[in-house]
Amino acid sequence: MPGPAQKTGVVVGGGISGLIAARDLARTGVAVTLFEAGTELGGCVGTHSVAGLTLDSGAESFATRSRAVPDLMEELGLGDAIVQPNRDGAWLQLAGDDVAAAAQRMPQSGLLGIPADPRAPEIVQAIGRAGSARAALDKVLPVGSLVRRETVSLGEVVRARMGEAVLRRLVAPVVGGVYSSDPDVLDVDSVAPGLRAALAKHGSLSGAVASMRASAPAGSAVAGLAGGMGMLTRALEKDLLALGVNIRTGCPVTAVERSGSGWLVSAAAGAAPVEETVFADALVMATDGPSASDLLTGSVPELAAARPGPGPGVALVTLVVDQPDLDAHPRGTGVLVAADVEAVDAKALTHATAKWQWLADSTGPGTHVLRLSYGRALSAEDSAAAARTSPVKRGDEDLFAQALADASVLLQIPLGVDDVVGWDVVRWVGALPSAAVGHHDRVAAVRAAVEAVPGLEVVGAWLAGTGLAAVTADTRTRIAGLADQLDQL
């Protein structure tokens, strides 16, 4: 007798989550088609060419708090390419009349800038003796309602436990660099899972941070790939082709609808778009949150109420400069910038050739790669002003000039147009998920609604959290569950 017909699956979205989802689903024997609206795969894990160098256009590292990413890389044959960054670490640029004097090495013993020991010398240097004394009260203050309330912001937790100095001079620059957001609008359970539970257990925020750091894997907090993170996207694409996945770029999905026990997925392709519709037993939405919600609301009405707003717009300016004075790595691997530093618009600078030895080897002495990121979604009150000054609305030449000026201030080495051998601007609109207060509950609502619909899964950073480690682990878990569903059909 003939065996059962091969199951089919459609993945909507060719970012890193979509590529992982398509691979894992295809490895279970499902015939997979992947639709990507753009012409390139990988999303924020992509590349661009600057001054003849192939450089990461988005993510340039991954968190090592779990084995999720290293395990995937080893499966793809990239295990030997995993490299550690320079141990010199980053600097912190604080506000002050003397910019150079207001810069210091970033304290290494914290979590999202929250110190495990507020009395440590580097913490006292950053927040002052009075700020350190206030932060030390965390050890004796009652825990109160912070651990019982349904939702609370990261800013409120830090302010209540350690005071304003820790919040503004340590935590805000870190979360601004990672999330492009103010701590007062970020859901603590979304950006620091387990922190409130650890606070309840240990009775202090510093104790909670110390315990979470102690339980993290040994070694650097991040790692990368020799050759750049874009190698991951290329390896995934190669594996998908070997698995027989039908990759359709330049094909935006226009509609999805339930059809019996499966799905009808419509996509447009071509300069004069021709719409085609395919049937799938399983559907994986791997787009941004608003797009996923809009496409699925007709089939899963509960998603309408959980539709997230767009994330902050971010611009990344990459400079390749010929300046031998930078060989000394004057600010380590880069600088995180406090929001109240008036002399600088950038929220962060990565000195990529100081951070990654493989890149320094490829450029040679005297040539340096600098990445400056722009875009802060501040508080709710500042949202309108932030929208007006969004970096995605600034012209390339404007951002280039700003990046040169900011790099000169942050590195304390003058950089001029004549020093630049190549540059590029990459904009990410809504690439960072909104993790505002209530986000944890929104994620739970989306998960519950999706789980009630057979043959459907929704993945991506807007649900898993920011960062490749979170996205990889969550996507693989969700696709494993979806494959189990298909086995039972």
* Confidence band, pLDDT 50/70/90 cuts, at residue 1: very low
Taken in order of first residue, the domains within the chain and their CATH numbers are: 8-41+228-309+435-488 (3.50.50.60), 106-215 (1.10.3110.10), 312-429 (3.90.660.20)
Summarize the confidence of residues 6-14 as an average pLDDT.
96
| Three-class SS state of 338 | coil
User: Can you give the pLDDT at residue 120?
Assistant: 94
The first and second tokens of residue 205, run together, are: 């925020």
Q: What string of DSSP letters covers 344-374?
A: ---SEEEEHHHH-HHHHHHH-TTEEEEEEEE
- Residue 183 identity: P
Q: Report the mean per-residue pLDDT for the chain.
A: 91
| CA pair distance 40, 286, nearest whole angstrom | 15
73 pLDDT higher than 60: yes
Task: Give tens-digit pLDDT for 451-489.
Answer: 999 999 999 999 998 889 999 999 999 999 999 998 887
pTM of the shown model = 0.90
* Rounded alpha-carbon distances, angstroms, from residue 355 to 314, 327, 369, 411: 22, 12, 10, 14
The first and second tokens of residue 68, run together, are: 């999720």
| Three-class SS state of 239 | helix
